[in-house]
Amino acid sequence: MSDYLSLMMFPLLMGFIFSGFPIAFSMIIVAVFFGVIQFGDAAAYQLLTKIEDTASNSVLAAVPLFIFMGAMLEKSGIADRLFDAVHLWTERLPGGLGVGAVLMGALFAASSGVVGATEAVIGMLAVPAMLKHHYSKSLLSGTICASGSLGTAIPPSITIIVLGPVAGVSVGSLFSGLLIPGLLMAFLFLLYIIGVSYIKPEVAPRLKESRESFDFGDKLRITLVALIPTLGLIFVVLGTILMGIATPTEAAACGALGAVVLAMAYRNLSINILWNAAVQTMSISAMILMIVMGGSMFAGVFFASGGMATVQALLVDNGLSPFAIIGSILIIAFIAGFVLDLISVVLIVIPVAMPIVRTLGFDEIWFSVAFLIVLQTSYLTPPLAPSIFYLRAITPPEITLNHMYKGVVPFILVQLVILALVLYFPSLSLWLPDAMSGPSWK
């Protein structure tokens, strides 16, 4: 009976969340309540141990460093400069502003790792320009939401950094495993925008003339000044991780310092910018790490109560095929992504799912990449898509929820195509980790 009692943790958690209670405190309260019921006074030691484990996890030290790096790129105007440089080359293409937004999303995702920040920055830069040039509000909405979602699909991603230790999988291998599907997804986004803009020119009127007259040499100079330093920063962070030169935390520290150096080189560094970046970093980091701690406590009580064995029995012993079980887990993650932030879904689902994945003999990297793509898709899917809530906060009232719901549908279909490719062709997510000898840090 106590085994099935642990399953009641999930409905109670959902009840707290739907009542408007903060997610982190909801998980902590449920963990304490069921811990005391199941283990009495011994629950206090178990829960305190989870707090210590979270505080001493060296991989999680990368979280505030990546957040600070993204905040510095935003606050110092480096992101604005990068968008202008990308736009110089894409503005004459069909859907050029949308193409520029997706490219900017890929670049900012590869140098930030924060999903909400990626969408906010791109939205603030691209939405006014796209409205000015009479882009379809649906295409505009879908493009900005999809560009921001690349913060999950293209490493380094905060979600991956949290998932790695929870799943017991190498963060470096997850980065390399997600890189090809993430870049392929961005490429398909670009193909869709260019294709629909070519077929229906009215949805994305092509610019007749450049905002200013630049010859090829000027364009090249502006691009090199804006792009080369940013690509250098991406290499310092992502390249060193993939090559096994640095751990994620070391690379994040170098990236944070590199963002400050870039701001200084562009003469955009000030005490005010540093302060604002630090405050934003502290606020977001505290929220994320509190959620991680709550999730660790929740999962600890659930495991110790026998909940894991119960779930395994329900999934494995009911005659479902191994692929049907994997599909069920991914559907549960997709539904959870409607109401929870991505990190909360990782902390609730992955501790339960990963032992089942190992028992069934599936590759951990392959499943983790598929899981992250599912999370990204739920992040974009109405009616409770977090990406739409982010966009709603930065767009004028003339862009309605109906525009946003219609706009994201084609990009969701692209994500489902990538998910199908990863599920049916595991080498898409396993080739690069194998080729790079599978970095083993965690």
Each residue's pLDDT tens digit, 237-254: 877 777 778 877 888 888
The whole-chain average pLDDT of the chain stands at 81
* The residue to which tokens 């699909």 are assigned: 153
With beta carbons less than 8 A apart as the criterion, state whether 94 and 198 touch.
yes
Question: Hey, how many other C-beta atoms are within 10 angstroms of the C-beta on 431?
Answer: 14
Predicted pLDDT of residue 209: 53
Listing DSSP states for 271-318 in one string gives HHHHHHHHHHHHHHHHHHHHHHHHHHHHHHHHHHTTHHHHHHHHHHTT
What number is the average pLDDT over the span 405-414? 91
pLDDT at 188 over 60: yes
Q: Using CA atoms, how far apart are residues 119 and 442, in angstroms rounded to an integer? A: 28
pLDDT at 187 over 90: yes
Confidence of residue 405 (pLDDT cuts 50, 70, 90): confident
Predicted pLDDT of residue 115: 65
Predicted pLDDT of residue 303: 75
Q: Which two structure tokens, joined as six digits, stand for 168?
A: 């017991």
Q: Residue 22, SS3?
A: coil
Confidence of residue 372 (pLDDT cuts 50, 70, 90): very high
What number is the average pLDDT over the span 361-373? 92
Predicted pLDDT of residue 370: 94
Q: Using CA atoms, how far apart are residues 423 and 402, in angstroms rounded to an integer? A: 32
Predicted pLDDT of residue 112: 63
Q: Residue 65, SS3?
A: helix
With beta carbons less than 8 A apart as the criterion, state whether 294 and 22 touch.
no
Helix axes 96-112, 78-90, angle to 10 degrees: 140
Of 106-120, 189-203, 400-414, the least confident: 106-120
What number is the average pLDDT over the span 421-431? 92
pLDDT digits (tens, 9 = 90+) for 206-241: 765 555 556 667 667 777 777 788 788 878 887 777
Question: Hey, how many other C-beta atoms are within 10 angstroms of the C-beta on 253?
Answer: 19
Given phi > 0 = left and psi -120 to 50 = alpha, else beta, which region is 378?
A: alpha
> Prior bond to 433 cis, omega within 30?
no
What number is the average pLDDT over the span 391-402? 80
Q: Residue 67, SS3?
A: helix
**Most confident option among 335-339, 354-358, 411-415:** 411-415
Predicted pLDDT of residue 371: 94
Predicted pLDDT of residue 186: 92
pLDDT at 442 over 60: no
pLDDT digits (tens, 9 = 90+) for 89-131: 777 778 888 888 888 888 777 766 666 666 777 777 778 878 8
Predicted pLDDT of residue 208: 58
Question: What does the radius of gyration of the chain's CA atoms come to, in whole angstroms?
Answer: 22
Buried b or exposed e, range 157-177, using 16+ CB within 10 angstroms: bbbbbbbbbbbebbbbbbbbb
Q: Using CA atoms, how far apart are residues 132 and 359, in angstroms rounded to an integer? A: 55
Q: Residue 399, SS3?
A: coil
Predicted pLDDT of residue 255: 84
Give the dihedral of Cα atoms 306, 307, 310, 311; nearest 10 deg: -150
Confidence of residue 180 (pLDDT cuts 50, 70, 90): very high
Predicted pLDDT of residue 212: 55
Residue 438 backbone phi and psi in degrees, to 5: 55, 80
What number is the average pLDDT over the span 262-288? 85
pLDDT at 342 over 60: yes
With beta carbons less than 8 A apart as the criterion, state whether 142 and 122 touch.
no
Percent of the chain with pLDDT over 90: 12
What number is the average pLDDT over the span 18-38? 83
Going by C-beta distance under 8 Å and a sequence separation of 6 or more, which residues neighbour residue 405?
382, 383, 388
* Sequence letter at residue 217: G
